[in-house]
Every structure is written in C-alpha cells, then in structure tokens.
Amino acid sequence: MNTEFLILISGLIALFFAFMLTKGIIKSDEGNDRMKEISGYIHNGAMAFLKREYNYLSIFILIVAVVIVFFINWQTSICFISGAVLSILAGYFGMHVATKSNVRTAEAARHGQDKALQIAFSGGAVMGLCVVGLGILGLGAFYILFGDNIIYLTGFGLGASSIALFARVGGGIYTKAADVGADLVGKVEAGIPEDDPRNPAVIADNVGDNVGDVAGMGADLFESYVGSIISSLTLGTFLVSKFGNKYPNNEPVLFPILLASIGIIASVIGILFARKSKNSNPQAALNNGTYIGGIIVIISSAILSKVMFGDFKAFISIVTGLVIGMLIGKITEMFTSADYKHVKKIAEHTQSGAATTIISGLSVGMKSTMLPIIFIAFGIIISFYVMGGATNPSLGLYGISLAAVGMLSTTGLTVAVDAYGPIADNAGGIAEMSHLPASVREITDKLDSVGNTTAAIGKGFAIGSAALTALALFASYAQATKIQSIDLLKPVTLVGLLIGAMLPFLFGALTMDSVGKAANEMIDEVRRQFKEKPGIMAGKETPDYAKCVDISTAAALREMMLPGILAIVVPISIGLLLGAEALGGLIAGAVSSGVLMAILMSNSGGAWDNAKKYIEVGNYGGKGSESHKAGVVGDTVGDPLKDTSGPSMNILIKLMTIVSLVFSGVIYQYGGIILKFFQ
Amino acid sequence: MNTEFLILISGLIALFFAFMLTKGIIKSDEGNDRMKEISGYIHNGAMAFLKREYNYLSIFILIVAVVIVFFINWQTSICFISGAVLSILAGYFGMHVATKSNVRTAEAARHGQDKALQIAFSGGAVMGLCVVGLGILGLGAFYILFGDNIIYLTGFGLGASSIALFARVGGGIYTKAADVGADLVGKVEAGIPEDDPRNPAVIADNVGDNVGDVAGMGADLFESYVGSIISSLTLGTFLVSKFGNKYPNNEPVLFPILLASIGIIASVIGILFARKSKNSNPQAALNNGTYIGGIIVIISSAILSKVMFGDFKAFISIVTGLVIGMLIGKITEMFTSADYKHVKKIAEHTQSGAATTIISGLSVGMKSTMLPIIFIAFGIIISFYVMGGATNPSLGLYGISLAAVGMLSTTGLTVAVDAYGPIADNAGGIAEMSHLPASVREITDKLDSVGNTTAAIGKGFAIGSAALTALALFASYAQATKIQSIDLLKPVTLVGLLIGAMLPFLFGALTMDSVGKAANEMIDEVRRQFKEKPGIMAGKETPDYAKCVDISTAAALREMMLPGILAIVVPISIGLLLGAEALGGLIAGAVSSGVLMAILMSNSGGAWDNAKKYIEVGNYGGKGSESHKAGVVGDTVGDPLKDTSGPSMNILIKLMTIVSLVFSGVIYQYGGIILKFFQ
C-alpha cells in the first residue's frame, strides 16, 4: 500500500512545484501600461477561447458519459469524466500561466537574456508539471479506488484522448486561420511587418500560438502520458492474473507506476537544472535539463528492474523506448533543419519555382518516413523479445508498453520545453507591439529559435510514443475482447485494415479543408477592417481585435466537431457491424497509415518552413526574390500540414484505439451484425 | 481437354484480329513527306527506347531466372522468362502499331472525324488484343503443359509484374521528363506553342506519350490480367485438391479460364462495335463498345456459373467485381472532372494563389480515397460471403479472385480505349508540326479529350483490380507458405505491416525525385540548344531532337533500376529475416497504403490538370491570369504524381505480392532468421 501512495505524493510534488513557479512568475514585473494592455488582449482572447471550447466539450462529455453508464458501467464513466476534466484543468492552468509569462518574459528581456529565459521556461514548466501532476494524481486515485479493476481506468484514457483530439484539432485550426489571415492580408497585401499592432488579426495570431502550441500540445501529451501508463497497467494486471505466483507483490503493475513517479521527480530536477543554468546559450540550458532528467530515469529504472524482477529485461525495454524516441527526434531534425541536405535541396529547388518546391518537399516528407518506421520496428522487436515474448507473448507485449512508458516518463520536461517556445514567441510579439527596443526582440527571437529546434524533436517523440502507445493499447484491446488473433487472412480483418488505413487520409482532408475555410473567413474580415476603417493603417484607429479572435474561435469550434465525432463513431460502428477482429484490423490500419501521414505532414511542413527561412537569411536571392516567393508557397502549404492535420493524426490513432478498448465489452457481446447475417 | 484448348483458340483469335487491324492501319494513307518525317522521328525514338530498355531488362531477367532455377525450380524459371518476354512482345507490337497509327490518324482527320476515330481506335485495339492474346496464350500453354502444378505459373506472373514495374516507372519518368522540359523551357520561357517543331524536346514529348501511356499502361494491364487469372487458378486448384469429390470436372480451375476466353471474344466484339459505330460522338462510340463487351461477359458468366456450379454464386462474385470497377471509375471521374464540384473548387482556390491551389488539390485527393476503399470493402465482403466463405473460407477467397477476374475480363477493351488516347494526342502533335489546317487539330483534340475521360475511368479500374488481385494473390501466398494465420497480435506481423505501409511512401519519393532529376537534365539541354543554336527560334535550324530523346531514355533507364530492385529485394529479405507471417503483414501494409497513395496521387494530379484546363477555357481570368499561373503550379506538381508515382503503386503492390508467392517455398523453409536468434 505504501508504494501505491508514492504515486499520489509524486503528483502532489509536481503540482507544488508548478504552484511555486507560478508564484515566482506572477511576482515578476509586468512592464509598462502598453505591454499590460496587449498581454491583456492575448490573455483574455485565449481564456475566452478555452471557455467557449469547454462549453462545447461539456455537452460532449455529458453525452458520452451517459452512453458509457448505459453500455458499460458507472465506474468507467466516472473515470472518463475525470480524465476529461483533468485534461481540461491542465490546459487551463497551463494557458493561464503561459499568457501571464509572455509579457513578463518581454519585460525581463529588457534587462538581459538570463532572466527572460528563466521566466519563459518557468511558464512552460508549469504546463509540463500540471500535465504530469494531474495525470498521475487522477490515475493514482482511481488505481487505489478500484484496485485490480484496471479496465475502468481505460475510461480515464478515453476522457483524456477525446479532449486531446478536440484541443489539437480546434487549436490547430484556430492558430492557422489567424496566422494565415495575419500574414496574407497584413504582411503581403498591406505590407506591414509581423506583429504590427495595426494588423487586426495580430492578437488572434498571438492567441493562436497559445491555443495551438500550449493548450493543444499539452492535451496531446497528457493523453499520451496517461495512455502509456494505462496500457502497461492493463497488460501488467493481465500478467499478474495469469502468472500470479511469479509476481507475489504485484510487480508488473507497480513497476510502471513507480517508474512514472520517478519520471516526475526526474522532470522536476531537470526543470530546476535548466532554470538555474547560468549558461549564455539557452539551447545548452534546455539540453542540460533534459539530459539530467533522462539520466535519472535510466539509472532508477535499472535499479528498479533489478530489484523488482531480478534482471535487467524491463530496464532494456525502457531504455529501448527512450533511445528510439531520441533517434526519431534526431531524424526529424535531419529532415527539417536547414543544417542538413534535405532542406537545402528544397531551397535549391525554389529557384525553378513553386511547383518544384512543392514536389521536393513532398518527396522529403515521404522519404523521411523510412527511418522512423524502421526504428519503431526495432523498438517493437527488441522490447518484445527481450522480455521473453518468444515464449510468453503476454510478457513481450508488456515489454512494448514499457518502452512507451519509458519514452514518456519525462513528459513533464518535454512539455516544459515545448511550451516555452510559444511563450518566447509571444514575448517577441508583445515587445514589437509595445515598441520596445530592438535588443528585446533580439533576445526573444533567440529564445524562440531554440524553442523551434527542440519542438521539432518533441514532435518526433510524440509520433514515436503515439505509435508504441497505440500498439500497447491495441494489445490490451485484444485481451479485453478475448479474441485469439487478428487474422489478416480473414476478409473482414482486411476490410477493417483498408478502412482504417483510409481514415487518416479522410481526417487529413477534413482538417485541411477546415483550416482553409477558417483562414478565408479571417482574410475577409481583415480586408474588411482595412477597407472600412482607413484610420487603422495610419495608426489613428484601433483595429477590432476581438472580432478576429471571435472568428478564429467560432471557426475552430465549429470545424473540430465532425473529425472528433468521426474518430469515436467509426470504430464503434465497424466493431458492431463487422466484429472485433475487423475492428482490430481497422486499428492496425489506422496506426500504420496514421503514423506515416503524421511523419510526412510534419516533416514536409517543417522542411518547407526552414527552407523559406534559409532563403530569408540571404541564400538564393534572399527575401523578396523569386526563390523566396516559391519558398513562401511551400511554407504556406506546409502550415496546415505540420500544425493542424499532422499533429492530429497521433491523437486520432490513439483515440480510436482507446475507444475500441473502452467499448470492447459491447463489441465482444454484440459485434459482427453483418457477419451474423451471412451465416 | 477440349475445353482447355478453348483458351488457346481465344488467344489466337485475339492475335488474328490484332493482325487484321494492323494490316488495315498500314494500308491507310501516311500523309505528306513532312508528316512522314515527323512520325518517323517519333516511331524511331519510341523503338530506340524500347530496345535499350529491353537490353537492360534482359540482364535482369537472366539474373532472376538463374536465381529461380537455383532456389525454386526450372519450371518456374521458364514460366518467369516467358511471362517477361510475352509482356515485352505485347509492348513492342502495341507500340509499333501505335506509332504507325498516329500519323495515319492525322491524315485521316483531314477527311473527317469518323475515319480518324477508326484508325486511332484500331491502333489502341491492337495493343489491347496483343495484351490479352499473348497473356492467355502463355498462361494456357503452361497450364496444358504443367497440368495441376499451377504453382509454376506464379513465375509467369512474376515475369509480367517485373516488366510492368520497369515499364511503368521507366515510361513514367521518360514521359514526364520530356513533358516538363518541353513545357517549361519551350512554352513558358521561349513562349512557343505546344507541339511546335522548334522545340528540341517536342519529339521526346511525343515519344513519351507512347512510352508511358501505351507501353507502360499495356504492361501494367498485362500483369493485372494474368495476375488475376493466376490467383484464381491457384485458389481453384486448392479447392479441387481439398474438396475433389465436389468438383468432378475440375470446375474451379476451368471456370476462370473459360471466363477469360469469353472475355476475349467479348472484347473483340466490343472493339468491332466501337469501330463500326457511325456516331458523330466518339464518346458514345467508345461507350457502346464497352457496354456491349460488358454485357456479353455478364450474360455468359451467368450461364457458365449455373452450368458449372449449379448456382449463380460465382456469377454474383464476377458481377460484383465489374460493378465495383465501374463505381470506382465513376468516383474517379467525379473527383477529377471539371463537371463536378471538386475540380471547380480547386479552380476557385487558384484565385488566392499557388499555396491554396496545392492544399485544396491534396485535400481533394485525400478525400477521394474514401468511397473507392468502401467499395473495395463491399466487393471483398460480398464476393467472399456470397460464395459461402462463412463456412468455407477457401471458397470465399476464390470468390474474391473471381471478382478480380470479372473486373479484368474485358481488359482487351480497356487497353484499347486507354491506348487510343495517346494515339489521338500524337496525331494532334504531328498535325501541328506539319502545319496541317486547324480543322485537323480540332478533330484530334476532340478525339483526345474523349480519351482523357475514359483514361481517368480506366485508372480507377486499374486501382480497383490491383487491390483485388493483390488480395487474391495474398491468399494464395498464405496457402503456399502453409501459414494458418497472419496474426496482427504478433509483433513481427505488426512490424511487417508498418514496413509494408511505409514502402509506397519511399517508392513515391524515389520516383518523384527521379522525375525531378530527369526533368532538370532535359531543361538544361533545351536551354543549351536554344542558346547555342539561335537559328532554331527563327525556324532556320533544326533542333537536335535525338539528343533530347536520348536524355529521356538514359534517365528513365537509370532511374527505374533502384525502385524496381527494391520491390523485389525487400519482401524476400523481410521474409527471410522475420518469417512468413511478417512478410504477410508487409504485403497487407503495402497493399493498404499503396492503394491509398495511388488514389491520392492520381486523383490529385487529375484534378489539378482539369482545374487548369477549366481556367484555360475562360474561368477565373482564363489563360495568362494569376489564377492560371497558380493552376499551372498545381498541374506541374500533379504531373509526376499522376503519371509516374501513382500508377507505379499498383504494380508495386502486385509485384511484391507475387514475389512473395514465388519465393514462398524458400521463405517457408528458411524464413525467420532473426526470430530463431531470439528463441
């Protein structure tokens, strides 16, 4: 029992540190009135979006909760509501603090880089610590409450996944609509610089950074984090029930819990190191924190593995997960950073126009799928067989889930580093709009660029962990539906596979269209304001920021519904119509094509973005040249791919898997209606 | 025995008609000296490409044949060589006649549309009849020779598939390199019209139409055609061996053979109808022929099904295949024709620039995957369960193979209609280069546009049949390797699935890059010629056509090797390393993501193409407007997708499946090296 309470303590520690960091941030100077005014706009816009989003989501949560009570049981329903609410809370706290940190980062940057880095990173860290703290507290409480009935906890995962999908899709649409509107009319048509206060969409654009990159990303990792733990708990419980005499102390269940607790402590220590690092190079500061966190996890998991299981097999699985995650991150960097040949090649192709820019970018994205898939394949094989999967498959599947837990053990740190970027970016925007000295903008730009690199690596991590988590949940699904195999020689499985593989394509199309629609509305609005209020351009009239914020908000909320509902309804329908094996095929198809599309979209998008930036620093004619115009086309094509559709894929595949897991009992009982008709 | 010889007779009938049509074409008037000269360039260029290609391929065939003798047996090796050689012969004859028909079509168009349609369609029909005639003769001969050892015939399929892949990839690279080179430097930079004889790449461009759309497409359908028959023969033999007493007359094997024979007769009759049709509307003429052919197949298969099996189950499977093929064709038309909303929407988006044009085109392509996949899913379920797959899976799988055979039974007609397009297109080019009156070009343009619509539908058919054929071959593979299941709950199967799903992405990237490289070489050459020979533009100097033809040829041959070899080596390696089940997963993954990528690529490409044409007829500012420029970017991006990478996907998945089938014995015996290490 003592060990089980450790999990709650580690969660409370994370929240305590988040609270302390928040106090520190709030204490810092907010700057002058102009800065306060602008940051107030951003803060209020972001919070208004969240509130309206939560209104929508509360209806959704209520309906699904009732469905779950009706078809499954009240325990799963309670877990579902809690998972959803805790995800929302993590997003709310994180955004609240992030939008308080931006202006203070800008103010601190007037006095030097160190203090600015500290505030920006603290803001990100609050989000990270809220994600892991609330995640583990929720899971821990229900674990203690329900004991061995781990299956109820899948409801918690479903709640987290649902919110994640809506937050990612909604946030992605919001941020891109605002971005495109601000860029296309403001920068290109009106010729005013980035973050100019005369641009009516400028506040929406800055709000978008928070909504998409802070709240969306936080909800995404919240669900990966709890999903990986739930899958290993489910598989661990199964091991205990099957080979109970081998595990007198419930080791397979306790191990991932303890590992997660250690991961939290490691994240806190890593965050403290990164904050205190008196290094003039912010990249080194972030790296130091990340390394220290990782090393703590590695050492502790070796000890834990030896103590609990008597060997280092579990340890190897965990390290495999960590290494695979880092390798995928590295590959992501190689395909999306201008330091390597791929981005340079795209930049070279801008010379022959937009068409060759697009073709080469698509090709780079497609090529970049190869190594991550091979690494994931190695990860699966090593973590499965090292645990002894050849003789005991259940043990092997448990090994795969441990690799996912290993990859995500330092989520607190990952989120901190990811969320730090948009805070620095926002700080730069506020500095610009408040006419602070150029030196301030230089510092925030430097901090932001560091954030961009680490964010690319974080995206690789997110994809790798999504794949492993989905596969571990997939194994849990099979055990829950009591199917012996998911046999591709059966036509229904193949049908499921084909439909599943198609869903990411459909999903991608829907989200891309949504961004297009929302962006068009924004473009029209910005044009209208410039036309009807000529005083704006002269700086004599204040643009109607709120209207633009409202357009992005309304569009995001409207457009997120269909993809979100599809992701829940389709798997259940296929399971009911074609049975549990077809649904298994569907998940496998969705995972394989979803991971590929996610890699293609985020890497093509990232590569175009950096190819454009590579030209902007003076290559191939620099800004304003024909090459640059072609590069801008590439970047614009890549925007919805890398910031909306691509990141949503990860959640799509996990959400569909966990929906199937939660409804596995129903599908086991009623599934396969069409097949019964043929028999 | 009598029935078995029917197959040879039907093959001979097809070849006889091809011979008669050829005689008729050769007899027609070739036109003036200028026309003869130009058509001579095209003919010689095309033949030179084929000869050089065949030199490369003969080495490849030899090596693989030796490997097969060594690892499998000499019978399979003989079949392999024959399949390859017959595919080559079909391509050679077809191209020969096609490049003789183009100039005669142009000459006939001087005297009216009817005669021109007749010649162009006869040219295409020769290709179609050679494909089915040689295909069925080869298969029939080996079937009579080897009797029940149908497994040897898989070698024939492997030969056909290998040639198809090289022909498609090589032809696709050839045609796009020439096209881009001719357009970008000739039309855009030098401002001369399409098919202007001053353009050094103009001959290569016209050769490309033949190499890609005639020879490449012919080899593609040759392999689909024989592949579908082989899969149903394999599965039929299995049925006979397992439930011999139910089939005293070897019905499951004879049925597809007879069906194929009837399909040939139906194709011949359909071709005759289309040729004789005195309709002012060429579309109606082609449609009539197609409908008549289809109706003959439907009626005969109903009779055959009742007579041989005593019920209409096999008939329903066949009709299911036909209907699915037509539905996919219709969907393809709806997503790629300017008569429907999708293309109009892309055209509308050209108004806001190249980026939105690309995004909306990608989204259209992604969305267009949904219905074809659902139709294929229905096709699988209906043809499986109608045959009684619920109680006897072997019978159900046989039903799926019949659906594929049904879809491809009128391949002779499909190829005739497909190959007719490039002949009409070439005729237009020759008319232009020979300065024939505008009325001639009008007629050839009309004939060509009809060809484009039917070709789009043919592409849909090709994708649908590739999916069903691959799945039927997949079932044969499972039986050959004696695996009981391909279980996605086993990690190696999942690993296979992930790697398989990734291959089409890698393959797409490789072929897109190849087109880019080849096109760049062509661009450089055309620019060089314009620069070094200023007399060309004044019409005083003849451009060096041969040099451009040579560049396309060399690039196509060089670039086709790596993708072709990958498609053969990867499946065998995975089978050897990870075992037969992992290889099964690989095939399933490759089929699912390959079909999706094929649909995405060909539909996005087709939609961009027609959106540009829609603007060119006067919408959104017409030719030369900003919208048109954006439309051209879309079209250029779509070109390699729809003409090189997309069509290659179909063959890639079939080739990998049949490679696995041919090497199933080796994999059964030696496969799974890594797994043995872990055990």
Is B148's pLDDT higher than 80?
A: no
Question: Any residues with CB less than 8 A from the CB of A227 and at least 6 apart, and which?
Answer: A157, A160, A161, A469, A473, A654, A658
Whole-number pLDDT of residue A2? 64
Is A317's pLDDT higher than 90?
A: yes
Residues of B in contact with A183 (CB under 8 A): none
Higher pLDDT, B132 or B285: B132
Report CB contact under 8 Å: A359, B501.
Answer: no
Show the CA angle centred on residue B650, arms to residues B648 and B651, nearest 5°. 70
Exposed/middle/buried for residue B51 (C-beta within 10 Å: 0-12, 13-18, 19+): exposed
- Number of other CB atoms surrounding residue A244 within 10 Å: 10
Domain that holds residue B434: 2-25+44-678
What mean pLDDT do residues A557-570 have?
89
Report CB contact under 8 Å: A488, B584.
Answer: yes
Whole-number pLDDT of residue A418? 84
Look at residue B33 and tell me if it is in a domain.
no
Report CB contact under 8 Å: B488, A353.
Answer: no
Higher pLDDT, A459 or B95: B95
For B573-616, write each residue's pLDDT tens digit: 999 999 999 999 999 999 999 999 999 999 999 999 999 999 99
Q: Considering chain A, what is the average pLDDT of its residues?
A: 90
Higher pLDDT, B244 or B543: B543
Is B639's pLDDT higher than 80?
A: yes
Separation CA B289–CA B128 (nearest Å): 13
Report CB contact under 8 Å: B499, A588.
Answer: no
Residues of B in contact with A360 (CB under 8 A): 513, 516
Closest Cα to residue B222, out of B120, B83, B357? B83
Question: Any residues with CB less than 8 A from the CB of A590 and at least 6 apart, and which?
Answer: A500, A501, A503, A504, A652, A653, A656
Model confidence band, residue B353 (pLDDT cutoffs 50, 70, 90): confident
Return the beta strands (E) in B47-119 as ranges.
none
User: Measured over all CA atoms, what is the biggest interatomic distance in chain A, rounded to whole angstroms?
Assistant: 80
Model confidence band, residue B476 (pLDDT cutoffs 50, 70, 90): confident
Nearest to A596 among B356, B487, B593 (CB): B593
Is A123 within 8 Å of A105 (Cβ atoms)? yes
Whole-number pLDDT of residue B279? 61
Is A25's pLDDT higher than 60?
A: yes
| Lowest mean pLDDT across A228-232, A275-279, A443-447, B317-321 | A275-279
Report CB contact under 8 Å: A354, B354.
Answer: yes
For B160-197, write each residue's pLDDT tens digit: 999 999 898 999 999 988 888 888 888 777 888 878 88
Token pair 């066949």 is found at B318
For A603-628, write each residue's pLDDT tens digit: 999 999 999 999 998 999 998 899 99
Residue type, B268: V
For A168-187, write each residue's pLDDT tens digit: 899 999 998 888 888 888 87
Q: Considering chain B, what is the average pLDDT of its residues?
A: 90
Whole-number pLDDT of residue A266? 93
Percent of chain A with pLDDT over 90: 50
Which three-class secondary structure state does DSSP give residue A440?
helix
Q: How far is CA A278 from CA A182, A282, B79, B269, in A?
A: 37, 9, 73, 85
Report CB contact under 8 Å: B356, A516.
Answer: yes
Number of domains in chain A: 1
What mean pLDDT do residues B526-544 have?
88
Give residues 174 to 193 of A whose Cβ lies within 8 Å of B.
184
Is A278's pLDDT higher than 70?
A: no
Give pairs for A68-74: CB < 8 Å, separation 24+.
A68/A155, A68/A662, A71/A663, A71/A666, A72/A155, A72/A662, A72/A663, A72/A665, A72/A666, A73/A152
Is B678's pLDDT higher than 80?
A: no
For B231-284, write each residue's pLDDT tens digit: 999 999 989 988 878 888 889 998 998 999 999 999 999 998 887 766 667 888
Please give the torsion angle defined by the CA atoms of residues A276, A279, A285 and A288, in that order, rounded to the nearest 10 degrees.
-90
Is A277's pLDDT higher than 70?
A: no
Separation CA A43–CA A48 (nearest Å): 8
Is A241's pLDDT higher than 90?
A: no
Q: Is B512 near chain A, with CB under 8 Å?
A: yes
Whole-number pLDDT of residue A279? 61
Residues of A in contact with B498 (CB under 8 A): 373, 376-377, 467, 592, 595
- Number of other CB atoms surrounding residue B33 within 10 Å: 9
Measure B359 CA to nearest chain A CA, in Å.
6
Which three-class secondary structure state does DSSP give residue A679?
coil
Nearest to A505 among B349, B489, B600 (CB): B600
Taking one residue from A and the other from B, the number of pairs with CB-CB distance under 8 angstroms is 224
For B411-425, write each residue's pLDDT tens digit: 888 888 888 888 988
**Predicted complex ipTM exceeds 0.90:** yes
Separation CA A613–CA A618 (nearest Å): 9
Look at residue B31 and tell me if it is in a domain.
no
For B641-675, write each residue's pLDDT tens digit: 998 999 889 889 999 999 999 999 899 889 888 88
For B8-40, write each residue's pLDDT tens digit: 999 999 999 999 999 999 999 988 999 998 899
Look at residue B267 and tell me if it is in a domain.
yes
Question: Any residues with CB less than 8 A from the CB of B157 and at least 6 apart, and which?
Answer: B83, B223, B226, B227, B230, B473, B658, B661, B662
Model confidence band, residue A476 (pLDDT cutoffs 50, 70, 90): confident
Higher pLDDT, A493 or A483: A493
Q: Is B494 near chain A, with CB under 8 Å?
A: yes
Report CB contact under 8 Å: B637, A491.
Answer: no
Whole-number pLDDT of residue B357? 94
Whole-number pLDDT of residue B456? 67
Look at residue B36 and tell me if it is in a domain.
no
Report CB contact under 8 Å: A373, B637.
Answer: no
Q: Is A373 near chain B, with CB under 8 Å?
A: yes
